[in-house]
Amino acid sequence: MDPAFLAVQALSGLSSASSLFITACGLTIVFGVTRIVNFAHGSLYMIGAYTAATLVPRLLELSFGPVTFWAGILASAIVVGLIGVIIEVLLLRRIYGAPELFQLLATFGVVLVVQDLVVQVFGPQDILGPRAPGLRAPVEILGRRFPSYELVLIAAGPIVLGLVWLLLRKTRFGVLVRAATQDRDMVASLGVNQALLFTGTLFLGAFLAGLGGALQIPRVSAHAGMDLSIIAEAFVVTVVGGMGSVPGAFLAALIIGQLQAFGILVFPKSTLVVVFLLMAVVLAIRPHGFFGRAEIVGGTHAVGIASRALLPRRHFILLVVIAILAGIPLVADAYLLKVATEILIFALFAFSLQLLIGVGGVVSFGHAAFFGLGAYGAALAVKWYGVSMEAALPLGLALAALGAGLVGAFVVRLSGIYLAMMTLAAAQILYAVAFQWVEVTGGDNGIVGVWPAPWASGPIPYYLLTAALTVVTVLLLKRIIDAPFGYALRAARDSEARAEAIGLSVRQHRWLAFIIAGAAAGLAGGIYAFSRGSVDPSLLGISTSVDALTMLLLGGIQTVIGPLVGAAALHALRDWIMPITSLWRLFLGLSIIAMVLIFPRGLVGTIRDWWGARA
């Protein structure tokens, strides 16, 4: 190939890598100190772009010149840093004692809030920022033109790396950040003001996110959706480099930038999946990334199992729930039956995740992979083999169980956030396959004509079928949770070293848990496919996994009816808010944040704790 073309392509990769590193660096530092998986980091990046695209042109009207431009970029990043401080003081500081997943849920609520606020403040139109003064003309490299601003971005990454290194190595704040990254509890025991340390860390992380967004305005327009487009890649950089390792993030960003620059030339259809393939390969070889350390896991991802003494009427409550479910067709119309069917399906989906998170302490960000496999397995059985619904549902379940077994064989070697991100990588790889394998899956059009059997085609019969399958599957999962297998999972969750010391095969138990949970999620996916009459790649997407996590956390981890309550609460919020206002993301996000603050153990979990305290 043309050497000039290769050189320009490599420089483009370096430019993208530099921009990605600046954003991911802040995420790395924040997680290293606070252990918060901050979904709102992409929102801060987006705010930085919007702020710079609005502020810099006004400053240039007063004084045109390079100094004014770069001062505007820096001022935008500082504004975002202050916004990060506000989020930390008003929200995160109040939930540091909550399980880590509830902190993640709170930051997801912030994402929804920011998405609507950005549109209200800056308008719905994309905003293209000004070109950098003095950097408008391209430069020639081996006879080919290359944007001069891209060269500045290439230099920006190493400059930020050097400044962050000096901050972390030569200042007291940096020493505390590095110490907290290695042992946060020990830093607290030495009398360090953790509140101030966390606030300073959030400012630094938000500042870097805002800087990364502000630097983009001469090359891309500020638009809604920037947050979600950057956050996945930022997470990959952070995980591949090693959580808390700034040099690791820099190396990971360089590799990802070059893979994206040249991967599209070799494999044009790889753009959706190349980043996650890299993460999967790296974590399979180095379970903690390039320069990461093993996480101390246990006791924070899930609350304890409910004592039987605290719930003496549990059988009565179960019978009441079953009676209510059976009586819904007597009072509900077709629309409510459709909603109730979806609630039950997603309750089963969320409860399958309960086995992994609530019992095993294994956090999965890609549980939608098994939900989607179940849906596609059932749909493909109908499309290619013309089988009935009764045969398609078990086939979808089997495909999901097989996929969970294959994914679980890799991820059980990992722990903590590395395990969670590996599951996300698996889900994204499957999403890319479903999206691009048009001959089999139909691509983004999906598969249509997946209808239930004639005897179950009406709203009432299909609702009753869904209710029966959901109740039976949940009871079977509950039986597994209360069996010695479930207690072995809890032992590994609370102390993996002690569990192995008494002879438990932790990896084998977790692998079996993945298969069981994947099979249950696949059954939910198959039922959902027949309820909709179609499937599409969105069932494998990140949003579906986030929905399952949200429902589980809203309802309450380690509770039987928690997923049902969480699914009902999320659907109710969406059905009540979306039709009455265009700002439904704002109100939904505020509702999620309020629930996290008021019910830090979930709706059912908090009520259960209140009941236990009274007893």
Residue 601: both structure tokens together: 């153990």
Greatest mean pLDDT range, 25-39, 99-113, 350-364, 511-525: 511-525
Q: Give the DSSP H/E element, type plus range, for residue 535.
A: strand 534-535
> Would the CA dihedral through 547, 550, 554, 559 be positive or negative?
positive
The pLDDT value recorded for residue 254 is 94
The answer on pLDDT for 40 being more than 80 is yes
The number of angstroms, rounded, from the C-alpha of 14 to the middle of its chain's C-alpha atoms is 27
The pLDDT value recorded for residue 384 is 85
| Alpha-carbon dihedral 346, 348, 354, 360, rounded to 10 degrees | -130
Of 314, 341, 452, whose CA–CA distance to 387 is shortest?
A: 452
Please give the average per-residue pLDDT across 2-24, as a whole number. 89
Give residue-wise pLDDT tens across range 229-267. 898 889 899 999 988 889 999 999 999 998 888 877 766
Treating both helix axes as pointing N-terminal to C-terminal, what angle do 416-436 and 274-285 enclose, rounded to 10 degrees?
Answer: 140
Would you place residue 305 in the very low, low, confident or very high pLDDT band (cuts 50, 70, 90)? very low
Which of residues 82 and 579 earns the better pLDDT score?
82
The pLDDT value recorded for residue 300 is 39
The answer on pLDDT for 77 being more than 60 is yes
For the chain, the average pLDDT equals 87
What's the one-letter identity of residue 50? Y
**Please, which contacts does 430-437 make with residues 24 or more away whose CB atoms are closer than 8 Å?**
430/369, 430/372, 430/373, 430/403, 430/540, 431/272, 431/372, 431/537, 431/540, 431/541, 432/269, 432/272, 432/273, 432/276, 433/273, 434/372, 434/376, 434/537, 434/540, 435/272, 435/537, 436/269, 436/272
The answer on pLDDT for 290 being more than 50 is yes
Phi then psi for residue 542, to 5 deg, are: -60, -40
Residue 63: both structure tokens together: 């004084």
Tell me if 486 sits within 8 A of 480, measured CB to CB.
yes
What's the one-letter identity of residue 184? R
The pLDDT value recorded for residue 420 is 86
Strand partners, 534: 448
Phi then psi for residue 145, to 5 deg, are: -80, 140
Spatial separation of the C-alpha atoms in residues 13 and 221, rounded to whole Å: 19
Residue with tokens 């899956």: 441
The answer on pLDDT for 583 being more than 50 is yes
Tell me if 91 sits within 8 A of 260, measured CB to CB.
no
The pLDDT value recorded for residue 417 is 81
The pLDDT value recorded for residue 299 is 43
Residue 523: both structure tokens together: 């059954």
CA distances from 552 to 18, 292, 352 (A): 37, 29, 10
Spatial separation of the C-alpha atoms in residues 112 and 211, rounded to whole Å: 21
The answer on pLDDT for 515 being more than 90 is yes
Please give the average per-residue pLDDT across 348-360, as a whole number. 91
The answer on pLDDT for 201 being more than 50 is yes
| Alpha-carbon dihedral 13, 19, 21, 27, rounded to 10 degrees | -140
What's the one-letter identity of residue 227? D
Q: Which of 44-58, 79-93, 95-109, 395-409 has the lowest mean pLDDT?
A: 95-109
The pLDDT value recorded for residue 460 is 93
Residue 260: both structure tokens together: 């994206």
Look up residue 143 and give its DSSP letter. T
The answer on pLDDT for 63 being more than 70 is yes
The pLDDT value recorded for residue 610 is 79
The pLDDT value recorded for residue 271 is 61
The pLDDT value recorded for residue 303 is 38
The answer on pLDDT for 564 being more than 90 is no
Would you place residue 313 in the very low, low, confident or very high pLDDT band (cuts 50, 70, 90)? low
Give residue-wise pLDDT tens across range 152-173. 999 999 999 999 999 988 898 8
Spatial separation of the C-alpha atoms in residues 596 and 98, rounded to whole Å: 9
Mark out the alpha helices in 140-296 (DSSP H runs). Answer: 148-170, 172-182, 184-189, 194-214, 226-241, 246-266, 274-285
Treating both helix axes as pointing N-terminal to C-terminal, what angle do 246-266 and 226-241 enclose, rounded to 10 degrees?
Answer: 120
Share of the chain above pLDDT 70, in %: 94
Please give the average per-residue pLDDT across 600-615, as a whole number. 77
Phi then psi for residue 140, to 5 deg, are: -100, 130
Spatial separation of the C-alpha atoms in residues 197 and 176, rounded to whole Å: 8
| pTM for the model | 0.87
Question: What secondary structure, in 3-state letters, does 439-491 show?
Answer: HHHCHHHCEECCCCCHHHCCHHHHHHHHHHHHHHHHHHHHHHHHCHHHHHHHH
Give residue-wise pLDDT tens across range 469-490. 999 999 999 999 989 999 999 9
CA distances from 237 to 34, 275, 511 (A): 18, 9, 27
The answer on pLDDT for 140 being more than 70 is yes
Of 85, 56, 326, 284, whose CA–CA distance to 195 is shortest?
A: 85
Spatial separation of the C-alpha atoms in residues 380 and 188, rounded to whole Å: 55
The pLDDT value recorded for residue 615 is 66
Tell me if 515 sits within 8 A of 408, measured CB to CB.
yes
> Would the CA dihedral through 522, 528, 532, 536 be positive or negative?
negative
Of 335, 302, 353, whose CA–CA distance to 491 is shortest?
A: 302
